[in-house]
Structure 1
Amino acid sequence: MATGSGFESKIVHVKAPEADAASDAVAVEAAVKKIVADVRAEGDAAVRRYAKQFDKSDLEVFEVSMAQREAAVAALDPQTRKDTEFAIGRVRAFAEAQLGTMLPLEIEALPGLHLGHRVIPIHTVGAYVPGGRYPILSAPVMTIVPAKVAGCAEVIACLPPVAHEAMIAACHLSGADRIFRVGGAQAIAAMAFGTETIPAVDKIVGPGNAYVNEAKRQVFGPVGIDQLAGPSEIYVVADETGKAAMIATDLLAQAEHDIRTRVGLITTDRALAEATLVEVERQLETLPTANVAGAAWRSNGEIVVCADEAAMIAYSDHIAAEHLQVHTRDPQATAKKLSNYGSLFIGELASVVYSDKCCGTNHTLPTMGAARYTGGLWVGSYVKVCTHQWLEKPGVEAVAPPAIRQSATEGMEGHRRAAALRLS
């Protein structure tokens, strides 16, 4: 645990997470390195081989045809389609509003010195859509819709061959230009370097398992990535006004994602902490997904009692949770004091599940403490803000002399000559 944050002596664990299991990161890294190298060298042949090995897929054609896409949409339950389109509409509207805040800039910083920037869409984006334990229809919505709003010329989606047909429909409705039934590290490598059938992209976005995450790490550089995301996380900060039953429900809702999900309560009220501990166990008795949520709770569940609000805020900022709910007497005031989170849910009516599914904010968020330095996926992830400059004679007269002197001081004669050339 980091020291010097001021909370260490002011917190007590009512329930601490178990020690981390031994990491298999070395084995994952080695396996992914071979997959990436093989796909880069062999293209479709390697993709096909690994699809058969990992997904038991014998697909000869990876791309989903327009007829297959339309059939998947037609097969959707009518209410499911309406709900998916509702989510698409909310995500699109929020992304459009966000993009509206990103404006081109032109200023005359000094007479004759013109500076500015343009907001330029990334040309080709690859959206990885995980298969996972559940067919999460909001997953492609979150990665594809903002790309289309940003104006990306081509958005391709890759999803495992075993993914539910409804996921194909969600990719189509979200606006994917092309859809491929390719999953895992081989999909990341294919999008990074291109194959005979899968185009190389400029940036890869979207969550996945440890192999997908490691593949994104290994291909980063020639291709951009959004982030390296670990298992999902939810924490709640609460005072004595918090409701144990509601908090327990929200923690378990997120815990059913994966047995490695991190869930926790940070509170100033010991009675609430103890009541929540009891309530979690009570609700697990009737939760159909308790085999997953219960394992996550036992391994990674955490309840911390803090001596005061300052310690609660400090510990929350130390955790830097992916999802952070605020259940206090004045949640808006508490929210203003918090700095590190992927997405903030202010007040007890704001549940993580609404953002996970359909309210409009993006659910692809930083985990593993990354919220200390970054936010989540948003429309700005799909554009480049690129600067430019142009000078008139008065501008050259203002900037050339200091540039000449600085170049001379640094011993960079070529720079000095280039700076002086325009002054004459």
Structure 2
Amino acid sequence: MNDFPGISWIKAPSPEAAADTAEVQRLVAEVLARVKAEGDAAVADYARRFDRSDLDRFEVTPEERQAAVDALDLQTRADTEFAIANVRRFAEAQLATMQPLEIEILPGAHLGHRVIPVERVGCYVPGGRFPLLSAPIMTIVPAKVAGVDEVIACLPPNAHQAMVAGCHLSGADRIFRIGGAQAIAALAFGTETVPAVDKIVGPGNAFVNEAKRQVFGPVGIDQLAGPSEIYILADSTGEAEMIATDLLAQAEHDVRTRVGLITTSADLGRAVLADVEKQLATLSTASVAGPSWASKGEIAVASDEEAMIAYSDHIAAEHLQVHTADPHAFGQRLRNYGSLFIGELASVVYSDKCIGTNHTLPTMAAGRYTGGLWVGSYVKVATHQWLDDRGVRAVAPPAARQSASEGLEGHRRAAQLRLDRMQA
């Protein structure tokens, strides 16, 4: 473990081994090329090879969508609609903060921007170990709130029926049972049945991630997702059982989940370590959470609050909980994170499921430069300008002079032409 000023460790994570991704890159490149060239035939072939699925068609019919909704038990449907309503309300409030702009920057020189929805978006809904019913909500609902014309959902052929219901209730315009890299290829290039999209969002496995990386450019993506992360910042007021419980709640996602506590209290750190081991003995998902904690779990002791903040900002955790005496004031001092959970009553689990903030968040320290998926991810802020004679008189001379000094004669002429005609 590299030294970090003011930080010592009660439990350090195992060193991160460099991943050999060459085979994943090769296989994904093959999938993309074949789907681009062969369309549905290649998608069907990969569905048989990778998903053991032999569907005669990929799109979920309206009747099948409704049947999936009808198959939900009443409480699951009510909980799903509760989550959808909260995500929608928060997305609507966020969108309301994004306003068109028109300003006269100089007399006669008008600048502005419009907030324009992306025309067509593809939402990848992962299958995974458990049916994550909140996954389609987080990608589809903000897209509909943003005003996207058409939202295409793709999910693996063997995904739970409840996931189809979630896509339908969230407002997906079309749903396809296509998973993996072939789904990303179909969305990026289009096939006989799947329309090409302008942007692809949603997390997935290493093959999905690599496919998104390779198609990026002509097609937009939200981000490249890594394993889930949670860090908790706590002083001596932190409560060991609650911290241990929240750490394990994320650790059960995946054996590669990164979980950690940064605290100014070594006593609290030791208590959390003991409580994690105690809870693992009775946790039904210990077969996943245990290896995650053993290899990725971290308990760091900071010499003071400044060291705790500096180390937290260095990690830039996907989920960051604050359990301190004054969590609101402390939270204002933090800079790098995916989403912040202020006070011990705020749990990542609420965000994961239903409270309204999005759970598709930056990992692998990307929180240093970006936030997570939100309604703004589905719109473009596109600028414009228009001028009258006064504006041309103000900007043409400096634009022409600057162009001339740069040796760009075509630019100089374009800047000067309008002024010359006005003066003539």
Compute the TM-score of the two structures, normalised by the length of structure 2: 0.98
Counterparts of 1:46 and 1:172, CA distance in 2: 26
The question of 1:314 aligning with 2:310 is answered yes
| Counterpart residue number, 2:344 | 348
The question of 1:57 aligning with 2:41 is answered no
- Structure 2: unaligned runs, 5 residues or longer: none
Shift of 1:30: 1.0
| Counterpart residue number, 2:237 | 241
- Equivalent of 2:113 in 97, 117, 124: 117
| Counterpart residue number, 1:326 | 322
The amino acid across from 2:382 in the alignment is C
Contact 2:227 2:254 in 1 (8 A): yes
Contact 2:148 2:378 in 1 (8 A): yes
Shift of 1:22: 4.7
Counterparts of 1:141 and 1:342, CA distance in 2: 18
Alignment map for 1:161-200 (pairs within 5 Å) = 161-200=157-196
- Equivalent of 1:222 in 218, 225, 232: 218
Q: SS at the partner of 1:422? A: helix
Counterparts of 1:272 and 1:120, CA distance in 2: 49
The amino acid across from 1:109 in the alignment is I
Q: SS at the partner of 1:423? A: helix
Shift of 1:19: 1.8
The amino acid across from 2:273 in the alignment is L
Shift of 1:9: 3.0
Shift of 1:24: 3.0
| Counterpart residue number, 2:246 | 250
| Counterpart residue number, 2:288 | 292
Contact 2:226 2:363 in 1 (8 A): yes
Q: SS at the partner of 1:9? A: coil
Contact 2:99 2:115 in 1 (8 A): yes
- How many residues are paired up? 420
Contact 2:5 2:307 in 1 (8 A): no
Counterparts of 1:127 and 1:396, CA distance in 2: 45
Q: What are the Cα deviations for residues 119-145 of structure 1, in whole angstroms up to 9, with x where unaligned?
A: 000000000000001100100000000
Runs of 4+ in 1 over 4 A off after TM superposition: none
Identity %: 74
| Counterpart residue number, 1:93 | 89
Shift of 1:79: 0.3
Alignment map for 1:353-392 (pairs within 5 Å) = 353-392=349-388
Counterparts of 1:220 and 1:212, CA distance in 2: 12
Q: Given the superposition, is the C-alpha separation of residues 114 and 22 from structure 1 closer, same or farther in structure 2, using an over 3 Å criterion?
A: closer
- Measured on the aligned residues, the alpha-carbon RMSD in Å equals 0.9
The question of 1:410 aligning with 2:406 is answered yes
The question of 1:305 aligning with 2:301 is answered yes
The question of 1:149 aligning with 2:145 is answered yes
The amino acid across from 2:83 in the alignment is A
Shift of 1:407: 0.6
- Structure 1: unaligned runs, 5 residues or longer: none
| Counterpart residue number, 2:65 | 69
Compute the TM-score of the two structures, normalised by the length of structure 1: 0.98
| Counterpart residue number, 1:401 | 397
Moved more, 208-217 or 15-24: 15-24
